[in-house]
Chain A
């Protein structure tokens, strides 16, 4: 924008009618051109002085009330933030340019942290829900419990053992094991139960580093009260699950 163009926009600027790019160009020019900055308001000020010096003419008295009646029904135009906050926006804009990369990194970091924390929270909630199910199942007076121990071995508190839980009013079958050693290479711990002389596969057990394992299976078979045996075998990994082939490692049998 050159000096001539600035002069052309002078009155629009004074009236607050300039917006957007035009306003930006003009203000940029005024910052760089002292001559224009001095002249800009100077011309209008002179006209303002001349205006204030006009000999008044007396308008009809009723016009005053007519004006007040009209404005009572007319809304004021809102303050143009685009223009009025320019100085503030300029300062904040400068700070913003410096801080925006930092802010962007912070926002990304916070977003990532929030997502991570959200995921962790979900994990914790899931674990808590699982634990609650186990507690409900283990503590319920109507639950059926089958203790599994090493067959033919006298009770040893340090030996591997397991428990299977089920409730007549639930589809959930739960098997917990403790003090398990990792399954030998190429083998898995596999859990089974017997109803009416039929052996059904329950699932594979994967002990953690502490030797604990939890197996939770949802089954629509509500004949838990008819279970006559449940046991864990060591099977070859990937072997068929239709029938157990290995020896019973931990077992409970109805007396």
Chain B
């Protein structure tokens, strides 16, 4: 079961429910993992479809939840929220898997109908393509905040964190040093943090 749309839905009540499910997963309860799957699988799957074909996305989706099961004891609430930890885990599983799975050609990366055609196009005609990527986010407040970012920061965040590209790959495409891309990503995230309402 997915959460209602909106940043505001990630409230303290939701966090408590998730933390309780995580606690039960730590105890080895597969039912609790099933409940976490119901909450997160749709978003994880959507994220994976940004980077790989459906078959591989399905394979990675399973891999991610098995990794969640295995590594749940490495989640420390004092270091960040479960969402932050889990999304980092998801991205790392994707990055780890890409070389194995023969990463798709650019034109296949963003192949979900109605979104964008290719990463090369994304980098070329970025305003339009970024708008389309922004539509992946269901929260209007978030979309507005991302739109307030300077163009280079917006592009970096959308493409490296949600487009399946690493910092290095984007740096190569834009012919820029990796450190510049990383700097843009950090500045963008820092700005977003200020723009987004404080999460309870």
Task: Give the chain A neighbours of B70 by CB distance below 8 A.
Answer: 74-77
6 A-B pairs with CB atoms under 8 Å apart are A15-B74, A16-B73, A16-B76, A45-B83, A64-B38, A67-B62
User: Would A54 and B69 be within 8 Å (CB), given that A13-B79, A14-B79, A43-B189 are in contact?
Assistant: no
- Residues in A lying within 8 Å of B, measured CB to CB: 7, 11, 13-17, 39, 41-60, 63-64, 66-68, 70-72, 74-80, 83-84
Check B85 against A15 for contact (C-beta < 8 Å). yes
A32→B137 CA distance, assembly (Å):
37
Closest 4 interchain pairs by CB? A56-B42, A16-B74, A48-B83, A48-B84
Number of interface residues of B (CB under 8 A): 63
B41 touches A47 (CB 8 A): no
Check A11–B196 contact: CB distance below 8 A: no
Task: Tell whether A47 pairs with B66 under 8 Å between CB atoms, given A15-B85, A58-B45, A77-B74.
Answer: no
Bound complex: CA of A60 vs CA of B92, how far in Å? 23
Contact between chains at B190 and A43 (CB < 8 Å): yes
Tell me the minimal C-beta distance from B49 to chain A in angstroms. 6
A59 touches B69 (CB 8 A): no
Chain B residue numbers with a CB within 8 Å of A59 are 41-42, 45, 57-58, 61
- Interface bits B59-102 vs A (CB < 8 Å: 1, else 0): 00110011001111111100111011111111010000000000
Q: Does B7 contact A (CB under 8 A)?
A: yes
In the complex, what distance in Å separates the CA atom of A50 from the CA atom of B159?
13
Per-residue A-contact encoding for B5-32, CB less than 8 Å = 1, 0 else: 1110010000000000000001010100
Cβ-defined partner of A84 (8 Å) among B3, B69, B76, B138: B76
Is the pair A80, B42 in contact by a Cβ cutoff of 8 Å?
no
Cross-chain contact A53 with B7 (CB below 8 angstroms): yes
A45: B residues at CB distance < 8 A: 80-81, 83-84, 193, 199
Per the bound structure, the CA–CA distance linking A84 and B46 in Å amounts to: 32
Q: A53 — which chain B residues lie within 8 A by C-beta?
A: 5-7, 137-139, 142
- Of the candidates B42, B69, B80, B136, the one whose C-beta lies within 8 Å of that of A48 is B80
How far apart sit A93 and B79, CA to CA, in the bound complex (Å)?
Answer: 21
* Partner among B2, B26, B43 whose Cβ is within 8 Å of the Cβ of A51: B43
Name the distance in Å between B159's Cβ and chain A's nearest Cβ: 13
- Contact indicator B85/A76 (Cβ below 8 Å): no
Q: Which residues of A contact B90 (CB under 8 A)?
A: 51
Determine if B151 is an interface residue (Cβ-Cβ < 8 Å).
Answer: no
Further pairs besides A15-B89, A47-B84: 12, Cβ < 8 Å: A15-B92, A41-B79, A44-B88, A46-B196, A49-B10, A50-B162, A51-B87, A53-B6, A63-B58, A64-B41, A71-B66, A74-B66
A76 pairs with B69, CB closer than 8 A: yes
Task: List residues of chain A with CB within 8 A of the CB of B6.
Answer: 53
- Check A72–B3 contact: CB distance below 8 A: no
